[in-house]
Amino acid sequence: MNIDATPYQEFAKEKLGFEFHDISLLVTALTHRSYVNEHREAAHEHNERLEFLGDAVLEIVTSDFLFRNYNEPEGVMTALRSALVRTESIGAAGYELGYEPLVRLSHGEKNGSERAHEVIMADCFEAVIGAIYIDQGYEVAKDFIYKHIIVKIDEIIEEGLWRDPKSYVQELVQKIDGVTPSYHTLNEDGPDHNKSFTVGFFVNNKLMTSGTGHSKQDAQTLAARSAIRIYKKRIADEGLEIE
């Protein structure tokens, strides 16, 4: 392995709480395909195989947790699991861990869009799970997932993040205000390959909140999530009863 592994081992000790027996697994977990394509003589393996394994471990751990702790129908359990492991959630967990400076990317990918970086961080998170599983075993990988992913379950349930946000907020608005909300694009910005959209969430033609994303659909989803928080606060503040 033609790389100084010291920063990776220091990261493992400081952020993960243990030393890797084979530190090359962690290096590989944080190596993007683009880096290997650009450095064929120095790097020979990227993280996609570890990502494949980590994804499977993540799914079984979250599924097992939900099965043991929630007596809900299959559809609800699937939605809860999807909310826990969606790209945004695990990408955010990666940023919180702080391994971004250790991720090996090509020059082109380093200058990629914010959305592309978010996906890469999420893929690396799954690959790190795979590396931990191979190097330390299932229980350590499980503890890692509980600490960084399962811990978010209360927030997901409290804010209704497991439900389709657009359907959920429409239901809330109709029950509270008796109308159907609408979405209107407020702004488009950036070049075609990295465009961002800002979409407003309107009730009775009044702008309530907005969301910005790399597609109109993403922006609508973020606006809906923001609106859910507004209506949840209103329900609590006004003591409203919503069946």
Residues 177 and 118 in one domain: no
Residues 123 and 198 in one domain: no
Q: What percent of the chain has pLDDT over 70?
A: 98
CATH number at residue 172: 3.30.160.20
pLDDT reported for residue 1? 56
Q: Provide the domain count of the chain.
A: 2
The reply to whether 243 falls in a domain is no
Q: Which of 124, 142, 158 is the last residue of a domain?
A: 158
Averaged pLDDT, 157-170:
82
Indicate the SS3 state at residue 163. coil
The reply to whether 12 falls in a domain is yes
Residues 38 and 135 in one domain: yes
Is residue 42 very low, low, confident or very high in pLDDT (cuts 50, 70, 90)? Answer: confident
Residues near 34 by beta carbon (within 8 Å), at least 6 away in sequence = 105, 106, 108, 109
The reply to whether 152 falls in a domain is yes
The reply to whether 1 falls in a domain is no
Query: Tell me, what amino acid is at 92?
Result: A
CATH number at residue 106: 1.10.1520.10
- Per the prediction, the chain carries an average pLDDT of 90
What's the domain range around 203? 165-238
Cα–Cα distance list, 187 to 196, 198, 217, 228, 230 (Å)? 8, 5, 14, 22, 22
The reply to whether 214 falls in a domain is yes
Residues 87 and 201 in one domain: no
Cβ count near 99 (within 10 Å):
22
The upper half-sphere exposure of residue 1, i.e. CA atoms within 13 Å in the direction of its Cβ, equals 15
Residues 20 and 50 in one domain: yes
pLDDT at 4 over 60: yes
pLDDT reported for residue 243? 58
Residues near 177 by beta carbon (within 8 Å), at least 6 away in sequence = 203, 204
Residues 148 and 40 in one domain: yes
Q: Which of 115, 142, 158 is the last residue of a domain?
A: 158
Give the chain's count of helices (H) and strands (E).
12, 3
Residues 29 and 104 in one domain: yes
pLDDT reported for residue 2? 64
Structure tokens at 18: 């243990």
pLDDT at 41 over 90: no
Cα–Cα distance list, 232 to 6, 9, 73, 98, 181 (Å)? 47, 44, 24, 32, 16
What is the pTM assigned to this prediction? 0.77
Query: Tell me, what amino acid is at 63?
Result: S
Residues 127 and 204 in one domain: no
Residues 97 and 44 in one domain: yes
Residues 13 and 115 in one domain: yes
Among all residues, which ones are annotated catalytic? 55, 126
Q: Which of 158, 180, 208 is the last residue of a domain?
A: 158
- The end-to-end CA distance of the chain, in Å, is 59
Q: pLDDT tens digits, residue range 188-238? A: 988 777 788 999 999 999 999 999 988 899 899 999 989 988 998 888 888
| Adjacency order of strands within the sheet including 196-203 | 182-189, 196-203, 206-213
The reply to whether 113 falls in a domain is yes
The residue among 215, 227, 126 whose CA lies nearest residue 177 is 227
